[in-house]
Every structure is written in structure tokens, then in C-alpha cells.
Structure 1
Amino acid sequence: MNILSKNTHIQFLLILFCCCFSIAVTAQPFVADKYGYVKDTAFHKLIKERDYKIVGAFDSMYSNYVAQVYYMNEWRYIDNYGNLIAEIEEEDDYGDFYPEVREINIGDEGFDIVAVPPDEKGSSHRDNDEYEVVFVNGKSGTKHKKTGKIGLKPIYDIFTLYGNGLIGLRKDGKHGMAYSNGKVFIEPIHDEVIRIYSYGVYQNSAFRIKKEGKFGLVDSLGKVLFKTEYQMIANAYDCNTGKQQPLLVKKDDKWKLVSITNVQLAPGEYADIKPLIIGLIKFTYPNNKVGLLNCKGEVLLDSQDKITYDYYEGLITFEKNRLIGKMKPDGSIKVKQRFESIYDLGDGYTRVMQNGKYGLINKNEEFIVPPMYDGVDVIKSWGLIAVEERKTQPVLHSKHGLLDMKGKVVINVLYDALDKVSDSVLYFEKDNKFGLMGWDEKVIKYFEYDRVHRVGHFYTVSKNYREGIIDVDGNVLLPVKYDYVKDGYDFYRRGYCRVKLNRQYYLVDRYGNELKDERY
């Protein structure tokens, strides 16, 4: 009896092991196509058995494929075995993915700013200044660190420390400049003192002074460079050319570009002048014509109607008499001033307009596509040029075609819409017909629909006022039975979308599931 029971127990374990082994061997992950859809009918059966109301497209953004499902009144995730898994990221109530963002709480008091500790010599400025600041009866002064000799008498209200012994003074509301050893080179009698010029060390600084509404300039030795008689003196920023540092000065309502030694660098007097980009200065004449100078005062552009800098292209556009040219920041001309419109498409190609028509030129300004079209664009991913012609009969509409990168016709300009499906197949619209054709323009098949609209690599279609979704081969992915497909692109991207049928909104997926959307 005991032996029999023992043998029976062993047989049971063997059977259990074989069953488990069989399950382990046969339980393979489901495989999705490139759009995240699983064709395996076993998967279709599984989602019905597990009561997944909506199943989205599988996404390979994680180490294992995951898909969103609507289950038990909430959005969850399943793996490629069809099993529910833990939450991965937050999603909105429509199931959108959002990357995790963690807030850093710095507290009510914000960040602490830690002071730089003194060096071995006791200076907290690390500038080897032999003098230190002292305070006597609420006033600021300086004294020698070793000998105690007074530098600046303690008679000033506020110090501004620039380093290397340079100190901004404030006394009775007026401003001045001095050195910590006691040498005052700008008396504190000015409304404003600002350092506006330096090319390396403080000894080469210049200070703009303001008194009674007029500006002047003084160097770091106290020498007057510009008398206090100007309406404005400003740095020409990003124009550091050594001792010939340019300045923008205004006097008698006229601007000039001058050097730090008050030598006029540019030939004219201007109504306005301001930096455009690094190394280039835009000026305006009294008649509102504009020009461009470099930092040496050389005129690069003159008497233009408009000069602008395009940060996207990295080029300067100049326009005169409705003709446009393009210039590089180094001052060299990229495109001569002979076109009505110029747009850099990258990779050496530029779209231009001449006499109201568009063409394409290369970097040598040679025409690849003559200016004869109403639209020209380079489709880099196709290695082709798209062209457009506008027709006025019977109504205003556009026809599209394709050229190769040498300007040779590949697809004639006869189509209302074109879309590349593969290296051998094109989607086309022509004369209210939709279908697929080869690159030889021979029709492969027509789609029997009233309207077709591309959404990703799918198409929203309509027939007899009903809408659905098909793929590029014409296969029906979503039956053409709905009043309205609201989010066709979501169907391509997520695997499900919102539709309207008989005044009610639903969420639908590629597996035929429909879930009433109670929010609408």
C-alpha cells in the first residue's frame, strides 16, 4: 500500500513536471508587426477571455514590448505574453504616454549661497590686493594689510569692489572710481560711473561717466577720452579688436562708430546704429535706408531697404527694391541680390523665387530647377524634389509632381496629391480618384472611396458619408461605418482612436473592440 502510494505520487510529479515543461516550451511571446498589431488569432482570443476592453499598439520603447489596455475601468499595460504588468509611467485619461518628470523641492528658503573662503593671505577676493576694506563710524575706507597705512579715507558710503584694487565709490549719492591705495581717478561727483570697456585687464578699462544728462569717457588713469557732451556712449558688443575697440556714440542726434581713442571708424553719421550679431553692426540713415558694418568700420552692405538675421538659417537677409540676397556672418555673399525670395533648404540647396515663380539653385547659384513652378521643396528622405503648379480652371487647385536631384522629371506634374509608399509604389490622388501606382505612373489599384486623408502610414477614408481607416495596401483596419473618425493619427500611433457613431462617441481598436466613451 505504501509502495503503491509512493509510485502514484512519483507518477503525479512526473505528469506535473511534463505539463509545466510543455507550458514553458509552448508559451511563446506574441509578435507584433511594425505598427504594433498582433495578427495571431490566439492573441485575439486571449484578449476576449481576459476582458480587455481596448488594446493599443505594442510599443518597443521599453526592453519588453508593452501595450496599453483598458481593463477594469482603468488604463493598464500588458507585456507581449498578454499579461498585466506594473505601471510604467503616468498617462492621461486617454492613455497618452508622458516621460516621468521629478520635481526638485528646494524648500521655502531656496538655495544657500556659500561664500568663497579667504585665501592664505586673508583676502576674500583672491586678487592679491595689499589693502583691505575698513569701516569707521559706518563709512568705508581702506588700509594696508601689513603696515596699517590708510589708503582711502573712511568717508565713503558704499564701495563696489571690482578686484585688483579697483573700487567704485559712492558718496552723498554720487559716483566715482578709485584704487584701494588711495588714488581717486574719478571724483565722486557723477550721477553714474560704469565700466564699459576692457580687453583683458583692469588697467585697460574705460569708464562711462554721466553728469547732468550727458555722457563722457575716462580711462583707468583718469585721462578724459570723451568730454561729457554726448547723448550716449555704448560698447559695440562682441567687437573686441584690441586697442581699436569700437564704441557707439551719439551726439547732436547722430550716431558714429569710433575707436576708444575717438577716431571715427565708419565713414558716415547715422540716425541709428546697433549690433546685429557678433562682429557685425547695423546702421540706419536719416532716410531709413540701412547698411551693415564690420568691427573695423568697413561697409559691407549699404542703402538697403531691410537687413535681418535669420537664426535658423544662420544667414543675413538683405533686401532692396524687393530683391533679396543672402550673406554669411563672415561678410561673404552666399546668394546674390537677384531674387524675390530665398530660403536655404540645407545640404547646398536653396529655393528661390524669380518673376513670381520658384526654382532651386545649388551652392554655386546654378539652377537645378528653373524658376517655373508655384512650389518647390526637397524631400531629403526620398532623395527627390517635389514641385507644384497652380491651376485656375475649372477652379483654383494645385497639381504635384516629382523630380530627381538633377531636375529631371520622375513623376509628371499631374496629381492632386502624392505620397511615397515604398521604393516601387506611390499613393496618388487624381481627378477625384485615389489609388496606388508604380513609379512608371501605371495604376496598380484604385481605392473606391469618396475621400482619402493620410494619417501616418494609414489613411482615413470616407464613402457615402461614412468613415474608416485603411493601410497603404488598401486593407481595411477600421470598418468604414462611422459618422466620424476623430483621431485617425492616434489609430496609427497608439492603435486605438475615438470615433462617433449615431451621436455617441466610442474608443475603438484594431481588434474590433468598441468601448462607449461616457465623457461625450
Structure 2
Amino acid sequence: MRLLYTNSLKAYVKILMFGGFILAVSLPSVAADYCYLSDSQTTRKNQLASQHKLSITSTKIKANDNKEENTDSFTINKNGKVLYQNLIELCVTKQLDLIAKKNNKIGVINAAGQLIIPFMYDSIYPYGETFVVEKEWLFGLVDRQNQPLSAIEYYFADYTLSQAEENPLVPLIGYKKLGIIEVDNTNKGAWGSIDSSGSVVIPFIYDEISTISSLSYEETTGVYKVKKNDYWGVIDNKGNLVLPVHYQRINWFNAAKKLYLVIKNNQTHVIDANQNVRINGDIEDISFIDIQEERKLNIYDYDGTLRPAIIRINDKYGLFDSNAKQKLPAEYNDLSYFYQDDLLAAKKDDLHGVVNTKGDWIIPLVYDELEAVYLDTAHEDLREVKYFIAKKGANYGLLSLNNDIILPFEYKSMNHYNLDIPNRILASRVITNSLNSIDKNNVKFALLTADGKSITPFIYDKIVHDNYDSRTHVWQKGKEGVIDIDGQILLAPLYQSLDYDIVEDGYIFKREGLYGWLTDSDYKEVIPAMYDEPFEFEEGVATVIKDGVTMSIDKQGEVITP
């Protein structure tokens, strides 16, 4: 056993280590967390005053150690008569009992002002009509006359004790010390539970008892998982066995439907309370579909609805609903969520399609490539899928959400950059020549709307969106220019190169073998193409070379005299 001390809610806490488990218990203190909820305490004190003529006053007393904070000393009066004074710490329970400390020990005073539990315990917690009491780090139960209901021989965690008043029908799960293991001088014991009458509900025979967790958090459902000899099972709160103790691991898949995610013989399955296997195969990963991609390990959505799951089994993906019913068999190379309209991108044997979360196919699994086109009319990354760029064979086309062909499969390339160029597609196709014949090498690019309408004609040799200047660059006959997302020409394609200076907000351009400078605000050539080498500005000054002579200039092209 190890003892650790730390400050917690005006009291010290000792942490007991037994059999590798931590059990935190308060040293002499009224100590339940709810005692420090000022609103409930104020209400209860007012009830005592109005209904039982019991009033509580407090005064500050100076701590003996200057390093400690001053504390409150409480006095209890009834009809103007002092009943108790010099009480350090005081808590009013739901039943209007007063748990208080005097001379470093804890007792209980009822609403009539009678001392029903003497000041003799290290801590006291209300538990229904009874009290959990602590002496020398061990816990037991007494009734309202301080008559023992159980031996003082248990260890209970702080969380269990603090919840005892709120859940008097739930048994107290804890640890019972059985002796000392002489080999390493550690404590030997077992886990079980007692109820508010002191009766053993779950026998103290288990190596560990805990609530069953889902993939992301613990859920209280009236059943617990128990461990014995390194294997887990499930019991109810009366100690009845729900699942036998022969699993390597147990979590919830769906607590509402009593579906468990278990590992047995190194294989992961989903089973029901009757041990029927609901999802077979070796489950490797579960991802509950989440539009905001924040709760992928949680079967519950923010509104409490249950979500379907993408499950990887034997390195293949399938789709299952919250009842573990198969919507798509685990035979796909990939299933991924589009974050909108409950649509999934599916891939199988290098072919792509789109399916909804009910397992209905929206776009058949026949395309070599498939890319969602997101609409963002508000320019706030509010993405909505309406179209898909699809590749079949060597060509690309545009499909609607209903699998209608918007643009035929005759394009050499199609790209969509939602965040960079909202609601736009960059496309290329083979253009017929003046003799109306097709030249496969005559490929031209254009800017299209998300629904396939032309913004620019197919006249450019290349179109690239530049992330540095957030503009669309175009090329014609080897010369570079800039257009906006509406196809308007900002810089005609006259330049051998355009290099954006993100610090100085302009372009170093090259034309006819010489370099100059233009601004990105009005696209005017401030410094004409006259320098032999590319240059860059630093704090408004650039070093340039002209006809072999090196000099310094400012951003207006004026030579700076040394």
C-alpha cells in the first residue's frame, strides 16, 4: 500500500494503491463534492431555517500555518439557542442532515438538531437512508442510529462515494482487503459490491469491476464488466452473469441494444447479450460516420441519434447500422465519408462509386476515378456535394448526384479545388483544327463552373491555380498570364515567367529575357523589363544588375545612391 497526498476541495486526499489499482479516499473531511455546490447548500440551509428553525452561521478563523488559507467555523442554533459550535466544514444533504467535522472527526446532525452519528469517523457520505463511514481508510455502512450494517472493511473510490447520494439504488462497487501476500508484501483482495442495507450484491470474488466503455467514453447502463484470471465477463448490478468470463476485452458497440464489442481468441466481434455473433470476422477498426469528424469513435450523434459505422474486417471495409445489421458486406478496398448528405465514396477492385449510408447505390461502381465537386456559394467552406468528376478509360466527364451525365466523357483532364477556387473546375480537351480534324496533341484548357458551364473558352495551353498569390495562372504559346475566377484577364499572357513576392505583394516578371516588377493591386508594370537577373525586394530595396552593373533600386525603380 502506498499513500499519496494532494489538495482537493478544501481537504487532503490520500491515494491507496491496492493490487495495482488506485483508490482515492478523503482524509477527515465531509468531503463529498456536492457540499461545495453553493446553490444547493444555500437552498438546503434556508429549508432548515424555515422548516426546522435551525440556523447556521459561520465566522472566519485564522489557520495555524500562515501558508494555509483561513477556514470557516460553523455554529448551529435552534430558536436562538446554540446547539453546536466550532464545527470545521459542514455539508447539508438532500435529507437535510448536516455532516460536520469537529476535533478532526466527522459526525451527523439531523434536521431536528440531534447528533445521530457521533463525531468519530474520518469521513461520511450519505447513501439513501444510511451512511457510508470511514475509519482508518476503511469503509462500511451504518444506519441513522449509528448501528453497523456492514463491517468496516471496504475500499471505495471517491467517484463512487460522491455519487452514492444521487444513486441510492445503485450498489457500491469497491475492493475488499483479504490479506497480505507475503512474497512482495502487497495487499491481496477482491472486487464486489454492497447495497445500502450492507448486503453483498456482487460477491467479492473478482480481480476488477468497472463500467463498460464505448469506443470513446464510459456508459452507466446497469451492467458492469468483471475480470478474473485475466479474462473479462459482464454482470448486472445484482451480480447475475450476463456474459461469461472468457473474453480478452469487452466494450460497448451499442449500449442501448446491448451489443458488445469483444475480443476472444484474439478475434474481435460484435455479439449480443445471448452471445450470438452479430458482426463476424476479425474487426480491425470501427469508425462511426460523423459529419463534423469529431466523434468518430462514438455511436451517438450530438442529437442522440445512432449512427452507422464503417468497419474494417480482414483489411476490407463494410457498412453496418447501429443494430449491427450489414448494409454493405466487408469487401471494399475503401469506404470514406463525404461529410454531407450521408454519402460514402466506395472503392472495389480499382473501381469507384458512391453509396448512401442505407446501402443504396447513388453512382454505380464502374468508374476508374471519382471526385466530389463541392459547392461553396457562401465562401465559408460550407460544402455541399452536387456533382462528381468521373474518369472512365482515358477520359473524364461530369456526373450529377442522380448519376446523370452533365458533361460527356471526352475530356482529357478535370480538376476541382474547392478551397482554392470555389465552385470552379479546370478542364482540358482535344480541340479540332481549322480543317475540322482532330489532333490528339492539340489539348487546350478552360475554366468551368461546378455544373460544367464554360467560363473561358478552351484556348489555354495550361491553367494552374497558384496558392502563393491565390490566383489562376494561364499560359498561351509559352507565355504566362493571370485571370480571376470569373475568367477576366488580370494580366495578359505576355510573360516568360511571373514569380510572386508574398512579402512585397507584387510580381518579378520576365519578358524578352529581362526582368521587371509589377504590383498585384493594379497589375501595372512599375519597373519595366530592363534588368539582366531576377531580383527580390527586402524592406523595399532590391539589388539589380543592368548591363553588368550592380545597383540598388526602390520599388518605384529609382536608383538609390550609396
Shorter-chain TM band: 0.5 to 0.7
1:362 aligns with 2:400: yes
Contact kept? 2:448, 2:456, Cα under 8 Å: yes
Q: Which residue matches 1:4?
A: none
- Listed one character per residue, the Cα deviations across residues 316-339 of structure 1 (whole Å, up to 9, x for unaligned) are 333211112334456554543222
> Structure 1 residue aligned with 2:517, among 469, 480, 501?
469
CA 1:177–1:388 in 2, change beyond 3 Å: closer, same or farther? farther
Runs of 5+ unmatched residues, structure 1: 1-110, 421-425
Q: Is the 8 A contact 2:332 2:348 kept in 1?
A: yes
Q: Shift of residue 113 of structure 1? A: 6.0
With the length of structure 2 as denominator, give the TM-score of the two structures. Answer: 0.56
Secondary structure of the residue that 2:456 maps to in structure 1? strand
How far the C-alpha of 1:363 sits from its partner, in A, is 1.8
Distance, in Å, in 2 between the alignment partners of 1:382 and 1:310 is: 20
Contact 2:415 2:425 in 1 (8 A): yes
- Residues 332, 220 of structure 1: CA spacing in aligned structure 2 closer, same or farther, 3 A cutoff? farther
The aligned residue for residue 387 of structure 1 is 427
Correspondence list, 1:250-399, <5 A: 250-259=263-272, 261-262=273-274, 264=276, 266=278, 269-272=280-283, 274-277=285-288, 278=299, 279-285=307-313, 288-310=315-337, 315-329=343-357, 333-347=361-375, 348-371=386-409, 372-377=411-416, 384-388=424-428, 399=444
Secondary structure of 1:414's match? coil
Q: Determine the C-alpha separation between the residues in 2 that align with 1:515 and 1:341.
A: 60
Structure 2 residues not aligned, in runs of 5+: 1-6, 11-32, 37-90, 100-122, 178-187, 289-298, 300-306, 376-385, 432-438, 466-471
Match of 2:476 in 1: 430
Instruction: Provide closer, same or farther for how the CA distance between residues 301 and 416 of structure 1 changes in structure 2, counting only shifts above 3 A.
Output: same
Equivalent in the alignment of 2:153: 155
Report the counterpart of residue 74 of structure 2 in structure 1. none
Change (3 A) 1:484 1:212: same
TM-score, with length taken from structure 1: 0.60
Going from structure 1 to structure 2, the CA distance change for 1:339 and 1:476 (only over 3 Å counts) comes to: same
Residue of structure 2 in register with 1:105 after alignment: none
Post-superposition CA distance 1:63-117 (Å, at most 9, x none): xxxxxxxxxxxxxxxxxxxxxxxxxxxxxxxxxxxxxxxxxxxxxxxx9867542
Distance, in Å, in 2 between the alignment partners of 1:332 and 1:126 is 56
Q: Which residue of 1 aligns with 2:139?
A: 140
How far apart in 2 are the matches of 1:297 and 1:214?
Answer: 24
> Which has a greater percent of strand?
2
Q: CA deviation at 1:302?
A: 0.8
> In structure 2, what residue type is equivalent to 1:387?
A
Q: What CA deviation, in whole Å up to 9, does each residue of 1:403-460 have, x standing for no partner?
A: 355535453433134599xxxxx97421123568999x99999665432346789543
Aligned to 2:173: 168
Find the counterpart in structure 1 of residue 59 from structure 2.
none
Residue identity (%): 17
Q: Kindly indicate whether the alpha-carbon contact (under 8 Å) linking 2:211 and 2:219 is maintained by their aligned counterparts in 1.
A: no
Distance in 2 of aligned mates of 1:190 and 1:254: 24
The CA distance in 1 between the partners of 2:264 and 2:390, in whole Å, is 42
CA separation in 2, counterparts of 1:184 and 1:384? 69
Whether contact under 8 Å (1:401, 1:414) holds in the other structure is yes
Query: Hey, what's the Cα distance between the residues in 2 that align with 1:148 and 1:515?
Result: 98
The question of whether the paired residues in 1 share the 8 Å contact of 2:224 and 2:236 is answered with yes
Q: Distance between the aligned counterparts of 1:430 and 1:500, measured in 2?
A: 31
**Cα distance in 1 between the residues matched to 2:424 and 2:136:** 80
Asked if 2 retains the 8 angstrom alpha-carbon contact of 1:168 and 1:177, the reply is yes
Q: What amino acid sits opposite 2:352 in the alignment?
A: I
Which structure is richer in relative contact order (CA contacts within 8 A, separation 6 or more)? 1
